[in-house]
Amino acid sequence: MAEALLASASNTERVRPGDHVICKVDVVMTQDIHTPGITYILEKMGVEKLYNPSRVVVVLDHEAPSHTVTNATEKVRIREFIKNHPGVAFYDVGTGISHEVLPEKGHIRPGELVVGSDSHTVSHGAFGAASTGLGDTDIAYALATGETWFRVPESIAFDVEGSFSDHVSSKDLILYIAGTYGTDVARYRAVEFRGPGVEALPLDDRITLTNMSIELGAMFGFTPVDDVVIKYVEGRTNEPFDPMYADADAEYAKIYEIDVTHLEPQVAFPHDVENVHPISEVDPVDIDQVFLGSCTNGKYEDLRVAAEILDGYEVAPTTRFIITPASREIYARAEREGLIRIFNDSGAVVTSSTCGACPGLGMGVLGEGEVCLAAQNRNFKGRMGHDKSEIYLSSPATAAATAVTGQITDPREV
């Protein structure tokens, strides 16, 4: 899949792992944290006009709305940059997290090459795009020239058989993969999640897999490009696109087979995404804060699953539950479907759409000694606040069950 996409982007008949190729970039995304650094580099380069403004998307999502004067001033500069570059698609605070907003607003199409100033840009592989994060300097170069270089990665595949049991989801699968095969299993590789266990998943749940493929070290993550994907994209853009597929005889460095029929909920312990235990082996741990949100788990399906468990319960008195829908569109749908009321009635805090608590920016930061269970992507030491706080990672279902009891809880028992 990666080879097919990079051959197309570099206008080469065939590429092989290890080849270096120069690629035409279809979409460049930047978010608020890195846009000031990127515009500074563009100034240093002497670039006044972007290569193709209509294929540039800027999303203010990380510290949104601003909570410090410094950050507010940075955003003033970003909005000035937008004014000076007509044609750039701009989504101000509250629209949502970039990785949710880009497909929603029709910027993501199968077969295209997308680069973004955020590591979770790998998400868009769920739409059949070659999509990955780059550093500020590489992004500035892509904005100026419409090009970037890649070393063609090897590919690996996870063939997923069986179907998930109740309250077990793709988040449990990706944590299981990180725990079993390590956070470098896909380092400098492309990873494909395939098979009936993946094809049966709603798009939201597939995105959880591609999104967290960066946690396996991957350059690209893909799930199948099927009717579900094509229909979604056609509903969001009028621009033509040309989906690409892996060759029938495509070569893989390794193929892993996983049957999810008996997979149980998984929990990653502090401070590493690969420090994973099945929930039956987890002793009760008291939790100060539960978080449900981020580009990984703030999607509609994530909220729906959590609401189903939370309905009729109250959040434990010693615990706070913060819920952040990944976009305004998701927020609106959650409101229409009654999820927001369930959250609010239970005593959860529902916030505007932002990365927020996940990278420790804005509301929901952790104090000294606090313990958090988060349906998000990373649990590095100090990520959500104090260096002496701890983060456990789980699925949305486990997060909701834990919010009810105040201790890490198997969602199948609530």
Chain positions contacting other proteins, by CB under 8 A: 20-22, 33-34, 37, 41, 44-45, 68, 70-71, 117-119, 133-138, 141, 144-145, 147-149, 151, 183-184, 187-188, 217, 219, 272, 359-361, 378, 380-383, 387
Q: How far apart are CA 113 and CA 24, in angstroms?
A: 8
CB of 141 to other proteins, least distance (A): 5
CB of 215 to other proteins, least distance (A): 8
Nearer to other proteins (CB atom), residue 108 or residue 140: 140
Contact 409, 306 (CB under 8 A): no
CB of 138 to other proteins, least distance (A): 5
**Strand 371-375 relative to strand 390-393, pairing:** parallel
* Structure token digits, residue 90: 């701009």
CB of 168 to other proteins, least distance (A): 26
CB of 374 to other proteins, least distance (A): 14
Closest CA to 395 of 270, 294, 262, 256: 294
Q: At what angle do helices 203-211 and 227-234 cross, to 10 degrees?
A: 100
Nearer to other proteins (CB atom), residue 134 or residue 209: 134
- Residue type for position 149: W
Q: How far apart are CA 263 and CA 163, in angstroms?
A: 9
* Structure token digits, residue 322: 């913060």
3-state secondary structure of 143: helix
The sheet carrying 349-350 orders its strands as: 276-278, 266-268, 390-393, 371-375, 289-292, 320-323, 349-350
- DSSP tag of 152: P
CB of 316 to other proteins, least distance (A): 28
Q: To which residue do tokens 């006009």 refer?
A: 49
CB of 342 to other proteins, least distance (A): 32
Nearer to other proteins (CB atom), residue 346 or residue 377: 377
CB of 393 to other proteins, least distance (A): 14
CB of 372 to other proteins, least distance (A): 15
Q: How far apart are CA 218 and CA 377, in angstroms?
A: 14
Nearer to other proteins (CB atom), residue 4 or residue 144: 144
Q: How many CA atoms lie within 13 A of 308 on its CB side?
A: 13
Torsion of CA 74, 75, 79, 81, to 10 degrees: 30
Nearer to other proteins (CB atom), residue 132 or residue 327: 132
Q: How far apart are CA 290 and CA 393, in angstroms?
A: 10
Q: How far apart are CA 247 and CA 244, in angstroms?
A: 9
Nearer to other proteins (CB atom), residue 369 or residue 380: 380
Torsion of CA 106, 111, 115, 116, to 10 degrees: 30
* Structure token digits, residue 19: 């080849």
Q: How far apart are CA 359 and CA 82, in angstroms?
A: 25
CB of 221 to other proteins, least distance (A): 13
Dihedral sign computed on CA atoms, order 137, 143, 146, 152: positive
